[in-house]
Amino acid sequence: MMALWITEQGVLVQTEQLVLAVDDEPASLRVVKICLREEGFRVLTAGSADEALRLAEQYRPDVAVLDVMMPGTDGLELMRELRARSSLPVILLTGRSGDRDKVNGLDLGADDYLVKPFNPEELGARVRAVLRRSTASVHPPQIVQVGDLEIDLDRRLVKRGGELIALTRTEWMLLHHLAANPGKVMLNTELLTKVWGTEYREDFQYLRVWVSRLRRKLGDFELIRTFQGIGYMLVLQPGEGDEARVLVESRDELPEAETITEPAPITRAS
């Protein structure tokens, strides 16, 4: 897979995209490296989290492939540290095949998840798919500022008063779609489809629960405005959306859920 670069002399050149592979087991790391090279990628390898962080800072890879079960700093914690520095796409590798492990990894922010042993061609295909998605979503750094709340859409970070707010993957995806369209009413069905998939597009109570969770995390119940029976809006200015709200306030809808129950883990049929 090729990437385009412009040198300081203004010359357009092509180079294979760079993958950072991390695993504490040399044999497994060698297999990943060979597989990806045969698929046309350049590969950096690291046997520890510290080495991976150093290489990521120095070479700026296009995607990282991380083994989950590493001693010390495991793959999940390494992913958090990498994501704190950039929006680097991450694919997790693990010997565990349970759905719970997959869901946990994806909820923590992984772009994809592959179980060992894997087909070499599948690994290459997964890397290409993640790169296509990340390339399609490339945009200049965007920061949405609402009072002392800062939403960094590029780095996937949320801060209030300079303090980092920890969000789950689902909470972030919901906030991202709202923050990427500030001042616009996002339809219930649109949010459900974008965040959870088409099979959830009519599950409005599920969306209410997650919006309530997100409001609590952000510490501001006025930031996300409800349009009963329609959708939600991220409010940038006090009173924003009042005119649109008048059009729907007479609808007979269920009130916003006041109690929050933990939703069941999301699973997908393979």
Assess contact for 89 and 130: CB atoms under 8 A: yes
Assess contact for 114 and 93: CB atoms under 8 A: yes
Largest CA distance in the chain: 65
User: How does pLDDT run across 166-175, given as a tens digit for each residue?
Assistant: 998 889 999 9
CA atoms within a 13 Å half-sphere pointing along the CA-CB vector of 105: 27
Q: Please give the structure tokens belonging to residue 237.
A: 């200015």
Question: Whole-prediction pTM value?
Answer: 0.48
CB burial readout 33-45, b (16+ within 10 A) else e:
bebbeebebbbbb
Class of domain 143-246: mainly alpha
Q: How far apart are CA 60 and CA 18, in angstroms?
A: 8
Query: In this predicted structure, what is the pLDDT of residue 110?
Result: 85
Residue 240 has pLDDT above 70, yes or no: no
Q: How far apart are CA 192 and CA 186, in angstroms?
A: 10
Domain ranges in the chain are: 2-136, 143-246
Query: In this predicted structure, what is the pLDDT of residue 53?
Result: 92
Query: In this predicted structure, what is the pLDDT of residue 84?
Result: 79
User: How does pLDDT run across 159-196, given as a tens digit for each residue?
Assistant: 998 899 999 888 999 999 999 888 889 999 999 988 88
CATH number of 2-136: 3.40.50.2300
